[in-house]
């Protein structure tokens, strides 16, 4: 299964796995699954750190590179098409969440396999594009 990690899920998976549900922890820890992170999430984390609203234990590039090396994390780029897909996405959200939803929507058109988005509050809810 391909799991697109929400920003908080990514941070918790790396730094505080006890905050994840048992199901999320099992899925993230299953090497048969592919962990994905949108550039929008990295962007969100970097902005929050620069504004002093978030503090990580290690530099963000180190965390991402460690996750890529240790857990096969893949990065999904953000493209103009992701931004332009926002009006077609059902569901609510603003800022980083909407950018991530748009990335998922565009990514799903390019990769035919089913994917699952892992936000912290509505874990494993799938967002559909009309």
Q: What is the pLDDT of residues 30-64, one digit of tens each?
A: 999 999 998 989 999 999 999 999 999 999 999 99
Mean pLDDT score of the chain? 75
Q: Kindly tell me if the per-residue pLDDT of 7 is higher than 60.
A: yes
Q: Number of C-alpha atoms within 13 angstroms, CB side, residue 48?
A: 16
By C-alpha distance, which of 73, 69, 77, 80 is closest to 111? 77
Q: Kindly tell me if the per-residue pLDDT of 124 is higher than 80.
A: no
Q: Kindly tell me if the per-residue pLDDT of 67 is higher than 60.
A: yes
Q: Return d(Cα 1, Cα 53) in angstroms, integer.
A: 32
The pLDDT score that the predictor gives to residue 101 is 46
Phi, psi at 63, each rounded to 5°: -60, -50
The pLDDT score that the predictor gives to residue 2 is 85
The pLDDT score that the predictor gives to residue 21 is 85
The pLDDT score that the predictor gives to residue 116 is 53
Question: Which helix (H) or strand (E) element contains residue 56?
Answer: none
> Between 97 and 12, whose confidence is greater?
12
Q: What average pLDDT does this structure show over 100-121?
A: 46
């Amino acid at each position: 299964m391909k799991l697109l990690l929400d920003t908080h899920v990514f941070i918790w998976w790396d730094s505080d796995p006890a905050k994840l549900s048992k199901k999320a922890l099992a899925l993230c820890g299953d090497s048969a699954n592919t962990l994905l992170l949108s550039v929008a999430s990295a962007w969100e984390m970097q902005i929050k750190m620069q504004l002093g609203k978030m503090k990580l234990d290690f530099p963000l590039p180190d965390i991402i590179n460690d996750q890529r090396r240790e857990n096969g994390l893949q990065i999904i780029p953000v493209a103009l098409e992701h931004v332009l897909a926002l009006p077609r996405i059902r569901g609510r959200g603003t800022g980083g969440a909407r950018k991530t939803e748009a990335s998922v929507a565009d990514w799903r058109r390019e990769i035919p396999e089913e994917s699952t988005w892992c936000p912290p509050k509505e874990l494993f809810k799938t967002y559909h594009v009309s």
